[in-house]
């Protein structure tokens, strides 16, 4: 299950509670272009005006996780020097907001299931 940064930041709003800023930036880049590679996404988040640089591995792992969870489409193509991933917007999630809603829905289902398995009953306060 994809969990973004594995933390919940209640100071943030919406999907930003679950994603790091560079992950949100990658999603926005993907939706602006419709298709990207890890190299293009990495260059985008490490542009001169970017607040803090991130490794190419972080970008690759994030895109692969989104594809594995079927939140975006991903495929590998053979190229010079090996294979490279091509990532595309999934038509089921036509906007970053739709993708965010699905991600939050999945996280809430997972948390609810975990509470039930542990024998806890969540109580609204």
- The pTM (predicted TM-score) of the whole model is 0.82
Range of the domain at 100: 14-117
Residue 87 maps to a domain = yes
Residue 60 maps to a domain = yes
Count of residues making up the chain: 125
pLDDT at 49 over 90: no
Residue 57 maps to a domain = yes
How many distinct structural domains can be found in the chain? 1
DSSP H or E stretch at residue 7: none
What would the pLDDT profile of 73-122 be if each residue is shown by its tens digit?
999 888 787 788 899 999 999 999 999 899 889 888 888 888 888 777 66
Is residue 1 a contact partner of residue 106, using CB atoms and an 8 Å limit? yes
Residue 68 maps to a domain = yes
Residue 8 maps to a domain = no
Looking at residue 35, which CATH number applies to its domain? 1.10.10.10
DSSP H or E stretch at residue 76: strand 72-79
**What is the C-alpha radius of gyration for the chain, rounded to an integer number of angstroms?**
16
| CA 97 – CA 33 distance, rounded (Å) | 16
pLDDT value for 29: 95
4-19 mean pLDDT: 77
pLDDT at 63 over 70: yes
Residue 89 maps to a domain = yes
Residue 62 maps to a domain = yes
């Amino acid at each position: 299950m994809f969990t973004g940064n594995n933390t919940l930041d209640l100071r943030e709003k919406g999907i930003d509670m679950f994603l790091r800023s560079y992950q949100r930036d990658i999603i926005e880049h993907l939706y602006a272009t419709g298709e990207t590679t890890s190299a293009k996404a990495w260059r985008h988040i490490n542009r001169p005006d970017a607040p803090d640089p991130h490794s190419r591995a972080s970008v690759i792992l994030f895109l692969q996780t989104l594809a594995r969870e079927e939140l975006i489409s991903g495929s590998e193509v053979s190229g010079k020097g090996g294979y490279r991933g091509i990532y595309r917007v999934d038509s089921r999630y036509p906007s970053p907001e739709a993708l965010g809603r699905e991600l939050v829905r999945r996280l809430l289902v997972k948390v609810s299931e975990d509470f039930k398995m542990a024998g806890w009953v969540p109580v609204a306060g």
